[in-house]
Structure 1
Amino acid sequence: MSKIINKADIAQYIDYQAPPTNWHQVNQAQIDQFADCTLDHQFIHVDPEKAKATPFGSTIAHGFLSLSLLSHFAEEFALIIDGFYMGINSGFDKVRFLQPVNVDSKIRAHATTLSIEETKPGQFRFKTQVSIEIEGNETPALIAEWISIQLVKED
C-alpha cells in the first residue's frame, strides 16, 4: 500500500526504497488488449505461433505495456503527502527497456524516491527511480526515472 507521509518529514524520504510490489502475471489477453489500444499488432506480441520461431520463443509484452504498468504498481510503492487530493504524471527523465517480458512472466516493481521538492505552495514534484523485475531473471525489464506531481491541500 501507499505510504502516507507528512510535509514536515519529506527530507527523511529522499533515497527511500519502498518494499517490492506484489507480482503481476502478464498474460496474452492483456498483451492483445494493449495491442488493440495502441494499434501495435506486430506478430512478436500477438501471434504465438510465429513468435515461437523467434529468439524469444514466445510472444512478448510491448515495452510500453510494461512501462504503463507502473501506474498499477505505484498504488503499492508511492509516497503520498498527507492532504493529497490529486496526482499528475509529469513524464520521465530516463527510460530504458533492458529485457523483454515473455508472455505469462511475473513482474513486479522496485522504487526509490530520488527527490521531493515543493515547486509552489501545495505542489510537490517527485522523482522516483523505478525498475521492473522479471521473476527468475537478473536483468530488469526496464529502468526509469519517473516524474510525478502531487497536489496537497494547504493547512
Structure 2
Amino acid sequence: MSTVIINSLEELEQYEGQDLGISEYHTITQEQINQFAAATLDFQWIHTDPEKAKAESPFGATIAHGYLTVALLPYLWTQVAQIENLKMQVNYEIEALRFNQAVTVNSEVRLRAKVLTVKNLRGTAKARIEVIMEVKDAKKPAFSGIITFLYHFL
C-alpha cells in the first residue's frame, strides 16, 4: 500500500475515475473512544462503559462513535494520497454518508478511496472522493460516502 503523491491540479485530474488506494489499518481503542467522548460531550454508555456494553449491548462490547470513524478520514486519507504544493485545503462537503455497521472497540479499520470527479474552479481543484471505511474481517464497511475537498495549489 503506497501513498500516491499529487503535486498539481493537472496531476490530480489524471486520477479522475480511478481507485487511489487503501490506507493502512488503524485500531480503534477504548482510550480513543473515551477521548472522542470527552471532546464531543457524548458519553452514551454504548461507547464509554465496557462492562455495561458487554452485558447489555447487542454488540457485546463498546462501539466507536460513528462520527469518530468519520473524524479519522483526514488521518487515513493522507495515507492514501499526499497532496503537495498547496496554499490551502478545505473540507467542503460530505454527501450520501451511510453508516453501515457499528465498529466495536479494538476493531481495525482502513480507508479505500476513489477519485470520482475533479473540477477546475479558476485554479482551485474541487475533488469528489468516494470513501469506504472497511472493518477488518467484516462483510460490511463501517461507512461509505463521498467527500469533497477544495485544493488551492501554489
> Do the two structures share a fold, i.e. TM-score over 0.5?
yes
Query: What CA RMSD, in Å, does the superposition of the two structures yield over aligned residues?
Result: 1.4
- Give the aligned length: 151
Q: What residue is the counterpart of 1:64 in the other structure?
A: 67
The question of 1:117 aligning with 2:119 is answered yes
Gaps of 5+ in 1: none
Gaps of 5+ in 2: none
SS of 1:19's equivalent? strand
Q: Deviations over 1:25-53 (max 9, x none)?
A: 00000000000000000000000011012
SS of 1:13's equivalent? coil
SS of 2:19's equivalent? coil
Q: Is the 8 A contact 1:61 1:100 kept in 2?
A: yes
Q: What residue is the counterpart of 2:51 in the other structure?
A: 49
The question of 1:138 aligning with 2:102 is answered no
Taking the aligned partners of 1:151 and 1:93, their CA distance within structure 2 comes to 21
1:60 is displaced (CA, Å) by 0.1
1:9 is displaced (CA, Å) by 4.1
The question of 1:86 aligning with 2:88 is answered yes
Taking the aligned partners of 1:98 and 1:20, their CA distance within structure 2 comes to 19
Taking the aligned partners of 1:7 and 1:147, their CA distance within structure 2 comes to 15
Match of 2:109 among 107, 110, 118: 107
SS of 1:18's equivalent? strand
SS of 1:76's equivalent? helix
Q: Percent identity, please.
A: 33
Taking the aligned partners of 1:118 and 1:79, their CA distance within structure 2 comes to 19
Q: What residue is the counterpart of 1:28 in the other structure?
A: 30
Q: Is the 8 A contact 1:2 1:74 kept in 2?
A: no
Moved over 6 A (4+): none
Query: Which amino acid in structure 2 is aligned with residue 54 of structure 1?
Result: S
Q: What is the TM-score when the length of structure 1 is the normalising length?
A: 0.91
Taking the aligned partners of 2:13 and 2:153, their CA distance within structure 1 comes to 17
Taking the aligned partners of 1:152 and 1:108, their CA distance within structure 2 comes to 27
Match of 2:5 among 3, 6, 11: 3
Worse-matched range after superposition: 69-78 or 9-18: 9-18
